Amino acid sequence: MDFFEQQDVARRQTGRLIWFFVLAVIGIVVAVYLVAWFALTMIGSYADEPGAANPYADSIWQPELFLMVALGTLAVILLSSLYKTAQLSSGGEAVALMMGGRMVDPSTRDLAERRLLNVVEQMALASGTPVPPVYVMDQEPSINAFAAGHQPGDAVIGVSRGCLEYLDRDELQGVMAHEFSHILNGDMRLNLRLIGILHGILVLAIIGWFVLRSMRFSGGNRNSKGGGGAAVAILVVGVGLLVVGSIGLFFGKLIKSAVSRQREYLADASAVQFTRLPDGIGGALKKIGGRPETSRIESPHAEEISHMFFGSAFGSFSAQLFATHPPLVDRIKRVDPSFDGTFPKVKPVALTAASLAAETARKPRPAPGKALDAILPGGAATPIDPAGVLGQMGMPGMDKILYAAMLLETMPQPLRDAAHEPYGARAVIYAVLLGGEPAVRAKQFAALRPKAEELSYRETQRLAPLIDQLTGPARLPLVETTFPALKKLSPEQYTQFRGNVEQLIKADDKVDLLEYTVHAMLLRNLDVHFGLAKPAAVRHHRIDSLLPALIRVLSMLAYGGQTDEADIRRAFDKGMAQVGRIGSVLPKNECSLGNLDAALKTLAEAAPTLKREILSACVACVAADGTVTPRETELLHAVAANLGVPIPPIVAPASEDRAS
């Protein structure tokens, strides 16, 4: 499954959804107009003067009335949709809180929650997405989960209490792989748009219901002169709006359900490809069928986000006309063709510290004699397979999960613990940005001391030696693990933290590649969260308008991995060949990080299918000599961070002596 293709499919489906919405609104406007015309005709039939003319009875077409009705109806629908969309503008966090979710403390001592966080961290690092915050719905005993957000940077994972209590590690991993596929395939934004659109249509039915309720308060006027016409008009308007709104909602739900069912099939298949463990997601689905609560969600808001859950929010065996999920047995048979329809008896998973350690120990390990640092190289170049890098985007596979697990193991426990709480997370970022030279480091500490919180400053001093010992490939993943904790900062704290980061980078009057990459990752994922920036809009649909920016990026990549002029030119040409164009590599003095930043901001506005070509060109450029250096890896991560594209870890192609 192609990451960029699925992103484009999701974007096109969003476009179709908007057109369906427009057609539905047009139909609703016409229907409401007919209701208003009929109500006014009824009022005229009860006129005070028997011979009085009724202007609405002469013709069904009344332009002025239509204009007033159209404007009023559009205002109600659009304002209601915008209101609901604004409620969800903060991304997945708003959905999680609406569902009664509790954010899991990254430093939790609860064994089931620790296992969940570990699985989510591994999945995020393996897929190249920012590590999302995790929420638990404590009041939901069923087995269910969801992913919500506008983009990977503001995504959250939500799980029911039943997931923690009844799923083993493999099953939990299968469910999380399913949810990460929604993140990677662009389903989340589509799902949030559906909520806003359906709410706008629903409001008409709600207004009709309130109009009907108001009938009891107008009873005293029904026998007065002309009161009968008003009463009938109120009845017509109330019933009409209720019927029109209900019919609109009916078709809206049909659209929602049809879209959701197809995306669920895709997410199930993606989960199997991600983990290579059909028994993981298959076992979780079977346990849903074996539980009395199945996947049913009790929250009163379950209907609003029913299309976002792992399983049906209404229960797996309830006959639903608007089923947002395929039949449970059908989903199981797609991942386990041998399933005979018999569901197992389900008992809580007995989780102890020893069993948790045993679960972790069961994960694949390097083959005997294969040193860890051979898989996690420090400063050496790594063989690279360009097709593998692009092919695993959005579908990284178990080898990347293994790699992510080993990356986490190379991080000293004090660093991992610090990355999971706000003061420590800030200190981790500060320590990663510290220079290697004592004079530079002293200048940075002097700049940080009066600006940072005392606790973060002391933590930075404590963690700096541990960062120095950290293997190079683990530094950027360590930065990614801090995002959930950093999102817990207040806006004022984030503004101060952001300023401190920029001051640390500028302390030595130059910006190196690691500093630029960390800065790009932070801004891309946190500025939007704190409302300081908006996601890049799609403005480019043809590669020609992006060529100047692409040439600048490829020139930077060519100089980053090569020293010989002929090798630089060859690497640049291989990159340009991927987009079917020719060009000249820029002089080295024009390849500064500042110029790179401007070029990447332009490329970030490309359509998803163009981003595939851009990244393909970048990977071909760095892979021209068959290897990728740590500097080239950092450059690729900087490119991916700015493009908003999740790039999996770049590791050596699998060999026979490596664990599969």
Q: What is the three-class DSSP state of 173?
A: helix
Ramachandran bin of 572, using left for φ above 0, alpha for ψ from -120 to 50, beta for the remaining angles: alpha
Mean of the pLDDT values across residues 488-504? 93
Convert the pLDDT of each residue in 377-433 to its tens digit: 455 567 776 766 766 666 677 788 888 888 888 899 999 999 999 999 999 999 999
What's the length of the chain?
660
Q: Check pLDDT > 60 for residue 373.
A: no
DSSP letter (8 states) at residue 130? P
**Is the same domain home to 57 and 204?**
yes
Model pTM score: 0.79
Instruction: Specify the CATH number for the domain of residue 100.
Output: 3.30.2010.10
Ramachandran bin of 629, using left for φ above 0, alpha for ψ from -120 to 50, beta for the remaining angles: beta
DSSP string, 470-512: S-GGGHHHHHHHTHHHHTTS-HHHHHHHHHHHHHHHHTTT---
**Is the same domain home to 156 and 180?**
yes
Instruction: Specify the amino acid at residue 599.
Output: A
* 373 occurs within a structural domain: no
* 382 occurs within a structural domain: no
Query: Phi/psi of residue 641, each to 5°?
Result: -60, -40
The token duo for 641 is 């961070």
Final residue of a structural domain among 298, 318, 335: 335
Final residue of a structural domain among 501, 527, 553: 527
Q: Check pLDDT > 90 for residue 103.
A: yes
The confidence band for 298, taking pLDDT boundaries of 50, 70 and 90, is very high
**Is the same domain home to 128 and 204?**
no
Comparing CA positions, the residue from 348, 370, 389 lying closest to residue 619 is 389
The confidence band for 83, taking pLDDT boundaries of 50, 70 and 90, is confident
Most confident of the following: 200-204, 318-322, 475-479: 475-479
Final residue of a structural domain among 235, 258, 281: 258
Query: Phi/psi of residue 533, each to 5°?
Result: -155, 165
**Is the same domain home to 221 and 279?**
no
* 475 occurs within a structural domain: yes
The confidence band for 14, taking pLDDT boundaries of 50, 70 and 90, is low
What does the alpha-carbon distance between residue 578 and residue 398 come to, in Å, rounded to a whole number?
28
Comparing CA positions, the residue from 214, 216, 144, 215 lying closest to residue 175 is 144
Does an H or E element contain 632, and which?
Answer: helix 630-643
Please name every residue paired with 309 in a beta bridge, in sequence order, or none if there are none.
146
Kindly list the catalytic residues. Answer: 179
- The whole domain housing 556 covers 543-643
Ramachandran bin of 626, using left for φ above 0, alpha for ψ from -120 to 50, beta for the remaining angles: left
Query: Phi/psi of residue 621, each to 5°?
Result: -65, -50
- How far are the Cα atoms of 11, 260, 339, 515 from residue 634, in angstroms, in the given order? 29, 37, 45, 10
Ramachandran bin of 100, using left for φ above 0, alpha for ψ from -120 to 50, beta for the remaining angles: left
What does the alpha-carbon distance between residue 303 and residue 39 come to, in Å, rounded to a whole number?
33
Q: Check pLDDT > 70 for residue 2.
A: no
What does the alpha-carbon distance between residue 106 and residue 118 come to, in Å, rounded to a whole number?
10
**Is the same domain home to 276 and 148?**
yes
Convert the pLDDT of each residue in 546-584 to its tens digit: 999 999 999 998 988 888 999 999 999 999 999 999 999
* 376 occurs within a structural domain: no
What does the alpha-carbon distance between residue 4 and residue 393 come to, in Å, rounded to a whole number?
8
* 485 occurs within a structural domain: yes
Q: What is the three-class DSSP state of 141?
A: coil
**Is the same domain home to 201 and 234?**
yes
**Is the same domain home to 301 and 404?**
no
**Is the same domain home to 181 and 211?**
no
DSSP string, 275-299: HS-HHHHHHHHHHHHTSTTTT---S
**Is the same domain home to 430 and 490?**
yes
**DSSP-derived pairing of the beta strands 156-160 and 134-137:** parallel
Convert the pLDDT of each residue in 385-396 to its tens digit: 676 676 666 667
**Is the same domain home to 498 and 568?**
no
| % of the chain exceeding 90 in pLDDT | 32
What total of structural domains would you count in the chain? 4
- Give residues with Cβ within 8 angstroms of 66, minimum separation 6: 33
**Is the same domain home to 138 and 275?**
yes
**Is the same domain home to 54 and 196?**
yes
Q: Check pLDDT > 60 for residue 150.
A: yes
* 340 occurs within a structural domain: no
Residue that is written with structure tokens 């120095």 in the block: 468
